[in-house]
């Protein structure tokens, strides 16, 4: 039904497909229509939990390769990978690298974003994105109900940050851990402890006071 509705909307610039229960098989049907929206600047695929199961990554890649005008791509709360998740995600690398106008990539709370995948899959693609100014990663956990899990989530986020900063940004970035920036990613301000930094990597962790978490720079100096 969505694929049919997209026909004839060749001038569409923004589409929000979040929370639509789009599975990998659904993306196989939707992908060709989505790939025809070549004027699209904003695409939100967030909260479609089975999007990357089976051949989902291939279907997404086939659509993204034609959407070179995208400036925002949202893929928060995306899951569905099998044990061969790294291999599945490798097919996204060419299409991500082709998004040379992409300014914001939001993959917060996407369970596939681990240190290994950041290094072997995400970083090589992001190195090609010269326009990228906002990369949002990390997990959303509750300190008051999962206190033991909070530290693990933060450690993983900082590990991902270290990989991306070293391999993609050459150290020119800072981690921001915030509890009051849960608005849509396109409206989030770019924050940095150094005003001249061009690229900011944000880690958003709900219900954790900002002063309770050290950035990677602070940890290194402590």
CA distance 14 to 164: 28
> How does pLDDT run across 122-173, given as a tens digit for each residue?
777 777 888 888 877 765 433 333 333 344 455 555 666 666 666 665 544 4
Angle subtended at Cα 39 by Cα 38 and Cα 44, rounded to the nearest 5 degrees: 90
> How does pLDDT run across 176-186, given as a tens digit for each residue?
433 333 333 33
Q: With beta carbons less than 8 A apart as the criterion, state whether 160 and 177 touch.
A: no
Average pLDDT, the chain: 67
Q: With beta carbons less than 8 A apart as the criterion, state whether 40 and 69 touch.
A: yes
Give residue 156's pLDDT.
Answer: 56
Is residue 77 pLDDT above 50, yes or no? yes
Give residue 91's pLDDT.
Answer: 80
Which residues have CB under 8 Å from 165's CB, separation 6+?
A: 171, 172, 173, 201, 216
Residue spans of alpha helices (H) in the chain? 2-6, 24-35, 56-64, 85-89, 93-97, 115-117, 123-126, 147-164, 216-221
Which residues have CB under 8 Å from 196's CB, separation 6+?
A: none
> Average pLDDT of 96-105?
90
CA-closest candidate to residue 101, choices 61, 73, 63: 73
pLDDT grade for 203, boundaries at 50, 70 and 90: very low
Ranges of each domain in the chain: 1-102, 133-222
Give residue 117's pLDDT.
Answer: 63
DSSP, residue by residue, 43-62: EE-TT-TTTTSTTHHHHHHH
Give residue 200's pLDDT.
Answer: 42
> Average pLDDT of 43-60?
86
Q: By percentage, how much of the chain surpasses pLDDT 70?
A: 50
More confident residue, 42 or 90: 42
């Amino acid at each position: 039904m969505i694929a049919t509705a997209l026909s004839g909307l060749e001038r569409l610039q923004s589409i929000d497909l979040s929370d639509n229960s789009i599975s990998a098989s659904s993306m196989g049907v939707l992908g060709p229509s989505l790939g025809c929206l070549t004027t699209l600047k904003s695409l939100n695929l967030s909260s479609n939990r089975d999007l990357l199961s089976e051949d989902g990554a291939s279907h997404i890649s086939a659509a993204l390769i034609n959407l070179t005008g995208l400036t925002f791509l949202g893929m928060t709360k995306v899951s569905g990978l099998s044990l061969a998740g790294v291999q599945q995600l490798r097919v996204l690398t060419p299409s991500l690298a082709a998004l040379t106008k992409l300014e914001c990539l939001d993959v917060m709370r996407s369970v596939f974003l681990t240190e290994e995948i950041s290094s072997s899959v995400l970083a090589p693609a992001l190195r090609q994105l010269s326009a990228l100014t906002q990369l949002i990663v990390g997990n959303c956990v509750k300190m008051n109900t999962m206190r033991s899990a909070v530290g693990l989530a933060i450690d993983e986020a900082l590990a991902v940050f270290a990989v991306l900063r070293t391999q993609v940004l050459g150290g020119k970035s800072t981690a921001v851990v915030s509890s009051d920036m849960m608005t849509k990613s396109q409206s989030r301000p770019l924050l940095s402890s150094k005003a001249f930094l061009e690229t900011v990597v944000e880690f958003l962790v709900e219900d954790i006071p900002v002063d309770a978490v050290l950035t990677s720079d602070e940890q290194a100096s402590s």
